[in-house]
Structure 1
Amino acid sequence: MARVSQEHLDARRSQILDGAARCFARNGFHATSMQDVLQEVGLSAGAVYRYFRGKDEIIVAIATDVMRTVFEGYETAAALDPAPLPADLIGTVMRRVLDTDTHAHLVIQVWTETLRNQELSDVLRSTFVEMRTLWVKIVERYQEQGLMRDDIPAEHVARTMIALAQGFVAQVALFGEAPIEEIENGLRALTSMGKGS
């Protein structure tokens, strides 16, 4: 019997997660059954359960993938020299995170699901710590380059930048699509205070 390639296994896993994400974005985690997921992806129960033991495991996998996308976006941008300005940095990452209409809805659901799912809470907390650490490094670079005042702890600015990005995702999920240019322009205005017109 021929062995299945890793590419095939990865593609099948992605197929399951993409289908489940569409179901969850439409109906929420709790109103979506495993039967709904099976119908959406067009696979047998055996094929899906080969990858995931159940719905909670799928939810954790989707959340991990979305959070990883966010982190990698910031990590890539942070490696640039000089680091992109906050408006450009957050705009670039928002374009990656909001590349599908399911992501914003999933992010909100993941946040609420962490209140009852300890594994998911642990994943989110770990990702947040990584993200905050990365943002602290970015802010410190801004401070070293004289682009941002250095009398405010970088940790405080990092938390604020993360909160700003999270708030924008929440607005998109709750109130509908918003042009990413709006958050970019808003950040440009905020970071130019005191510089005049």
Structure 2
Amino acid sequence: MARVSQAHLHARRRQILDGAARCFARNGFHATSMQDVLKEVDLSAGAVYRYFSGKEELIAAIVGEVLGQVREGFEEAARSSPPPPPDRLVSSVMSRVLAAKEYLTVDGRPAFPRLVIQVWPETLRNDDLAALLREGYGAVQETWTRIVQSYQDAGMMRPDVSPEHVARTMMAAAMGFLAQQALFGPAPVEVLQDGLRALMSMSATRSGG
């Protein structure tokens, strides 16, 4: 029997993940069956189960991959000294993640943002997925905290604000932007960049009194 190359195994795994992602984005996690996935990827059950034990493992693999891409983007920025300002940093990472998944579409619309908002309620019933998400977001938050500390060390950001608080806020901005993409339709990352830049331009003033 001919030995299957690693490239073939990787391509087949990619085919299954992308097909499952399209199914989940189209119908939701619960309404999608493994039969739906098999039909989408046009493979036998044996071919798919060689890579994934079932729907739960497929969901976890998709979520883990996305979180890894987000973390990698911010880790790369954290190695700069100092890192790019928040408006450029967040928009560049979002551009990178969305571009990596732009080939995934459902009914002509990007599938990735729809997957993101489906994951959040799923964590309320799936402890393993919740743990994966906590670990992933925790890693991203830790990276962002180091980025904020670099801003403060370079005099780019006021030092009297907790780096953890800033990290949570920037993560919320990125997550909210993805949610809006799913709910209201695609929007360029420049929208997020312009909004952050405008907020960053505000000066702290006190009302009279």
TM-score interval, normalised by the smaller of the two chains: over 0.9
How big is the alpha-carbon RMSD for the aligned residues of Structure 1 and Structure 2? 1.2
Counterpart code for 2:156: L
Superposed, 1:9-158 pairs within 5 Å as 9-99=9-99, 100=102, 101-158=110-167
CA distance in 2 between counterparts of 1:36 and 1:54 reads: 12
Contact 1:17 1:58 in 2 (8 A): yes
- Tell me by how many angstroms 1:8 deviates: 1.3
CA distance in 2 between counterparts of 1:96 and 1:52 reads: 27
Residues 95-120 of structure 1, C-alpha deviation per residue, up to 9 Å, x if partnerless? Answer: 12223211111111111111111111
Runs of 5+ consecutive residues of structure 2 not aligned to the other structure: 103-109, 205-209
CA distance in 1 between counterparts of 2:170 and 2:67 reads: 16
**TM-score, length-scaled by structure 2:** 0.90
CA distance in 2 between counterparts of 1:77 and 1:8 reads: 33
Contact 1:66 1:103 in 2 (8 A): no
**TM-score, length-scaled by structure 1:** 0.95
- Tell me by how many angstroms 1:94 deviates: 1.0
CA distance in 1 between counterparts of 2:112 and 2:96 reads: 10
CA distance in 2 between counterparts of 1:5 and 1:112 reads: 38
Look up the match of 1:178: 187
Identity %: 61
- Tell me by how many angstroms 1:162 deviates: 0.7
Q: Alignment length, in residue pairs?
A: 195
CA distance in 2 between counterparts of 1:169 and 1:97 reads: 11
SS of corresponding position for 1:98: helix
Contact 2:81 2:150 in 1 (8 A): no
CA distance in 2 between counterparts of 1:78 and 1:40 reads: 39
Residues 52-97 of structure 1, C-alpha deviation per residue, up to 9 Å, x if partnerless? Answer: 1111110111111111111111111222233111011110111122
CA distance in 2 between counterparts of 1:73 and 1:134 reads: 10
CA distance in 2 between counterparts of 1:97 and 1:169 reads: 11
